[in-house]
Copies of this chain bind each other. A is one copy, B any other.
Amino acid sequence: MSYEAKLKEMGYTLEPLKDLNAGRLMLARRTGNLIYTSGQTPNWEGRQIYGQVGKDLTVEEGYEAARLATLNCLRAVKTLAGSLDNVVQVVKVFGMVNVAPGFVNTPAVIHGCSDFLIELFGDAGRPARSAIGLTVPMNYAVEIEMIVEVK
């Protein structure tokens, strides 16, 4: 099954963006066969997830936030690559969790990204990854950036 067909089966449609220019940054940039996304937040179709995981949010809510941020990454990748069927592999994910002091189970949050990528791309979606805790812009629950190799 093609990645685009698989995504539809998973219940999602990603419309390419008209413009990746977000003023002070590009949502993604390509060099050679690599696409670098900007850090993406859980802001999807009018829904935002804010707060510190470990205080305002549970791990499960953080996991869901990581899934939404992943959708934003993939939409930016699709805009540059033309189609997700041009994805060769997800090289790297840098997963940043907006943590309350003392919350250290950041991998469980970023699993929301990994699980989505692996369901969609299979082995090609299992990235090299870091998943750490810090302060995310505007108090969003997570921020995720990726490097994706495309045809």
Which residues on A are within 8 Å of B, measured CB to CB?
21, 24-29, 31-34, 36-39, 89, 91-94, 96, 99, 103-107, 110-111, 114-115, 118, 123, 126-139, 143, 145, 147, 149
Q: Check B143–A132 contact: CB distance below 8 A.
A: yes
Cβ of A89 and Cβ of B29 under 8 Å apart? yes
A39 touches B129 (CB 8 A): yes
Q: State in angstroms the CA–CA spacing of A145 and B129 once bound together.
A: 9
Q: Which residues of B contact A29 (CB under 8 A)?
A: 89, 91-92, 127-128
Closest B residue, CB atoms, query A76: B128
* Contact partner, A28, options B89, B114, B128, Cβ 8 Å: B128
With A31-B149, A135-B134, A149-B31 as contacts: A25 and B106 at CB distance below 8 Å: no
